[in-house]
Amino acid sequence: MNQATTGTPLGANPARGDAVAMRGCAELSIVVPTLNERANVGLLVARLREALARIEWEVVFVDDDSKDGTIAAVRDIAAIDYRVRAIRRIARRGLAGACLEGILSSSAPIVAVMDGDLQHDETRLSAMFEIVRGGGADMVIASRYQEDGSADGAMTQLRTSGSRLATRLAQSLLKTPIHDPMSGFFMARREIVDAVAPRLSRQGFKILLDIVASSPAMRIKEIPYAFGPRLHGQSKLDSMVVAEYIGLLIAKASGDLISTRFLAFGMVGSAGVAVHLTALHALLSRGLPFAAAQTAAMFTAMAFNYSLNNAFTYRDLRRRGWHFLTGFGLFAALCSFGVVAGVGVSSLLYTNPSRWWVAGLAAAAVGTAWNYVTNSAITWRPR
């Protein structure tokens, strides 16, 4: 029996005594990524209750298995407030991926992302909501750098300059007119995110930039806010975030041809070549026979590449403990095939001795592509 014949929501049959839940989903889903924010979540929910008194809202905390018991704190609040939900992610890291997962887990027609550390001014949410609901924009960004907005209370001089530089880079590379493409505080119509979700990077910090770059026809408005100081806990922004950010810019500027991960993999590979040559030189100068020196240098470079890739390139899928060791076995085996494939291609191309470098470059490209594709699919496959 369907809705047309029963006049009730799909699947429910009152004649059979089914209960019909008539409460629809919220009008606004707020996604809050958290990593060790136990001391902040209760206060944030209290502030949301006050700021959103006239809106049907829900909040989804997406926690990357914080060690400080953040998820337990969220569940305590959820036990008394049905609008509070929790997602606990295990063995995964990454702000962008957490935000995306939270958005995709929710159903409200309008979604927002904000930090869990009280640095984002929740009193701006209702104004943002009115703009999106009223059709004034597809997305509203709460911006730190408009006339009345400020970041004075929260950032050190170095971070302010770094953030401004990153903003300029984003603006010129992506040709985005927005003032604060680095903001982590925004709201959008659900369809906007749904449409581009499969293409968004799950690594890194900057999901907003990624959504904006992937949705050229979107109508955006910015409203100012004061970026407040962190009350409890510590910032998780580290130097890797800067590297990931540059990777994201290059990925977007190349129309997603070059992914952040591939770029990192390539950079680690280039550093590995230097390690290989240094080790080879050192071992040869100690009088080791060439074959032995070459084998030892190769393993040193592989161990170096594997460890660096595990720590940075695939930091969100990092292998630990016993899995670290088995992963090295996989990596070494796959890369050995990469050498064979590279040598095969270069011998096919090596027809003219004066163009030796063409064959050499082709070997490096084929080897790198093989290593990247197979190791992404096997050694660091998403678990």
Ligand X SMILES: Nc1nc2c(ncn2[C@@H]2O[C@H](COP(=O)(O)OP(=O)(O)O)[C@@H](O)[C@H]2O)c(=O)[nH]1
Contact residues: Mg ion, CB under 5 A: 115, 117, 119
Say whether residue 180 binds ligand X (CB under 6 A).
no
Say whether residue 143 binds ligand X (CB under 6 A).
no
Say whether residue 235 binds ligand X (CB under 6 A).
yes
Residue among 183 and 259 whose Cβ is closer to Mg ion? 183
Within 8 A by CB and 6+ apart from 243, the residues are: 264, 312
Phi first, then psi: give them for residue 270, nearest 5 degrees. -65, -40
Provide the Cα torsion 330, 65, 213, 125; round to 10°: 180
Restricting to residues 79-98, which ones interact with ligand X according to CB under 6 A?
93-95, 98
Residue among 64 and 222 whose Cβ is closer to ligand X? 64
Number of residues that bind ligand X (CB under 6 A): 19
- Interface segment toward ligand X; rule CB under 6 A; list 232-240, 288-296, 303-311, 318-326: 232-240
Residue among 1 and 237 whose Cβ is closer to ligand X? 237
Give min distance, CB of 119 to Mg ion, in A: 4
Local structure of 54: helix, strand or coil: coil
- Find where tokens 């064959």 sit: 359
Say whether residue 33 binds ligand X (CB under 6 A).
yes
Cα gap 268→302, rounded to integer Å: 10
Closest alpha carbon to 193 in 120, 110, 83, 84: 110
C-alpha neighbours within 13 Å on the C-beta side of residue 207 = 29
Give min distance, CB of 332 to Mg ion, in A: 40
Cα gap 132→257, rounded to integer Å: 32
User: 115-134 mask for ligand X (x: CB under 6 A)?
Assistant: xxx-x---------------
Residues in the chain: 383
Cα gap 152→282, rounded to integer Å: 52
Helices and strands (H and E) in the chain: how many? 13, 7
Give min distance, CB of 207 to Mg ion, in A: 15
Residue among 37 and 244 whose Cβ is closer to ligand X? 37
Cα gap 255→260, rounded to integer Å: 12
Picked from Mg ion, ligand X, none, the partner binding residue 210 (CB below 5 to 8 A depending on kind) is none
Residue among 101 and 117 whose Cβ is closer to Mg ion? 117
Say whether residue 208 binds ligand X (CB under 6 A).
no
Give min distance, CB of 203 to Mg ion, in A: 19
Residue type, 55: I
What residue ranges bind ligand X (CB under 6 A)?
33-35, 37, 62-64, 93-95, 98, 115-117, 119, 184, 235-237
